[in-house]
Amino acid sequence: MNKQFIKRASLVFGMILLATSLIGCSKTGYKLASKELTDSKTKLSGSDVGSNIDNYKTSIESAQDFAFELLKQSVSEHKTVVISPVSAMTALSLTAGGTSGDTLSQIQKALGTDDMNKFDDLCNYFINRSEADKDSTKAVVANSVWIKDGIAKDVKDEFIKKASEKYGAQIYSTAFDSTTSDDINKWAAKMTDKNIEHMVDDVDKDGNLYFANAAVFDGTWTMKYKEEYIAPKGEFTDVDGNVQTVKLMRSEETLGIYENDDPSTSEPFGLVKHFTSGYSFVALLPGESEDIWTFVNRLDGNTFRDYLKRAVSGKVTAFIPEFDISSETDLTASLQNVGIAGILDSANMDNMLQNGSSIKTDKIIQKVRITVSDKAVDEETTEYEEPHRCLPSTLYFNRPFVYAVIDNTTNIPVYLGVITSME
C-alpha cells in the first residue's frame, strides 16, 4: 500500500511598527525584563461577527478592498511577495484606538470605514478564531505594545482595557535598549511557538513606542494526496521566462472559478481548495496573454468577491507547485500611498496618552513565510480519487499566479500573495 501524505500550508507573519520621537504607548507566563501593564487575567471579549455576518457586510467588504489595495502597493516587479492583510488591519485598528483627529481620519479612510467599532469587532473575531482553532489549526494573531519607561505612566486605562479585551494585546513598559529587542523577540517566539523567533535586531534608543503584531497559520487540507500524485521534477516558468524545477501536486478539485457559472461553457482560471478548520486556499491564474502585474493591478475587493461567487462545482484537475517562500516587505511607502501619512509623520495619540504627544513612525515592516510541505496523516482522512487524465478542465499553476488564504465566514484574505518565482 502506498504511503499516504497530506499537504499542509504553513504561513508565518511578523509585523512591527517602529516609532520614534516623543509619544506616547498582556498576558504572558514567561519572564521578560520589560514590565507588563496589562492584567494577565483580563479575558478576551466575545465576537458576534460569525453569528451576525449581515451586520458586518459593509465592513467586511471594506476589509477585502483594503487587502487588495495593500497588495498592489506592496508588490514590485519581478518580486515574489506575501502579505497578511488581517495582521495589517489588526495593527492599524489597534493603533486607531489610541489616535484622534486627522490621524484617526486617515486610518479610517485607508480601511474604508467610518465605524472603527465594526473593525474592532472584525479584529476581535480573528483573535478569537486563533484561540478556538489552536487545537486543530495553528492560526495565531497576536498583538503587543511596547512603551518607553517614563512615558508608560501616561497611558490611559481605557486604551489598555480596549487593547487587552478586544485585541488580546499585551502592553509593556520597557527601557528601549538591548533588553527591549530581546523581549520583543522572546514575545514573538512564545506567541508563535517559535515560528517567528526574530522580529527585530535592535531598537532605536531614542524611540518611544513599538506596536508588534505576529501571525502564524498552519492548516491541513481536507483531502490527502497519494504519493504518486506528486511530480518531483515538474516545471515552473518564472516572471523572467526562466524554467525552474519544482514539485507539482496533482489533485482533482470540485470548486473551479470560471468566467461564468456554467463549467461546461468556459475553462477555469482559478480554484478554491479547503482546509479543515474554516479556511480556504484560493489560487488565480491570469490568462496566457496577460502578464502577472497587469492581472494584479486589476484585482480589487469587488473583483475578488465576484470570482468567489463564480466558484462553482465542476471537476478540475489542478497542478499546484510545492513552495516555501519568505518575504519581507517594507509597508511604509505602501501605507503612505493608501493615505496613512499621519502615523508616519506626526500622529495624534490623544486617546492613548494622558498628555497626548505626537508620534513619528520610522518604518512599518512585515515578515511573512508561507510553506506548503508533505506531512503524513492518519488513514481516516478522506482520500482523493484518481484524477481524470483526460479531463479537459486542467489548471497548471506552473507560471506566476495570485493566491490567498481566506476565512470562510467572511471571505477576508488572511494572507495574500503573488508567486513570480520558485527561487
Are 407 and 344 found together in one domain? no
Q: What is the CATH number of the domain that holds 254?
A: 2.30.39.10
pLDDT range class, residue 83, cuts 50, 70, 90: confident
Q: What is the CATH number of the domain that holds 169?
A: 3.30.497.10
Are 187 and 253 found together in one domain? no
Number of domains comprising the chain: 2
β-sheet bridge partners, residue 88: none
Q: How far is residue 86's CA from residue 119's CA, in Å, rounded to a whole number? A: 11
Q: Is the pLDDT of residue 396 over 80?
A: yes
pLDDT range class, residue 282, cuts 50, 70, 90: very high
Does residue 230 or residue 319 have the better pLDDT?
A: 319
Are 80 and 210 found together in one domain? yes
Are 303 and 342 found together in one domain? no
DSSP string, 273-290: EEBTTSEEEEEE---TTS
Predicted pLDDT of residue 390? 40
The predicted model gives 126-140 an average pLDDT of: 73
Residues of the domain holding 274:
225-322+377-419
The predicted model gives 125-148 an average pLDDT of: 78
Are 314 and 412 found together in one domain? yes
Q: Is 128 helix (H, G, I), strand (E, B) or coil?
A: helix
Give the three cell numbers for residue 168: 488580546
pLDDT in tens, 284-309: 999 989 999 999 999 999 999 999 99
**Rg of the chain on CA atoms, in Å:** 22
β-sheet bridge partners, residue 145: 171, 211
Q: Is the pLDDT of residue 27 over 60?
A: no
Are 171 and 263 found together in one domain? no
Q: Is the pLDDT of residue 78 over 50?
A: yes
Last residue of a domain, one of 371, 389, 409: 371
Predicted pLDDT of residue 34? 93
Are 152 and 272 found together in one domain? no
Q: Is the pLDDT of residue 60 over 60?
A: yes
Query: 218 vs 41, 50, 90, CA distance in Å?
Result: 27, 21, 19
Out of 8-22, 79-93, 320-334, 367-381, the most confident range is: 79-93
Q: Is the pLDDT of residue 19 over 60?
A: no
Task: Provide, rounded to the nearest whole percent, the portion of the chain with pLDDT above 90.
Answer: 38
Are 404 and 262 found together in one domain? yes
Are 206 and 236 found together in one domain? no
Are 294 and 340 found together in one domain? no
Q: Are 368 and 211 in contact (CB under 8 A)?
A: no
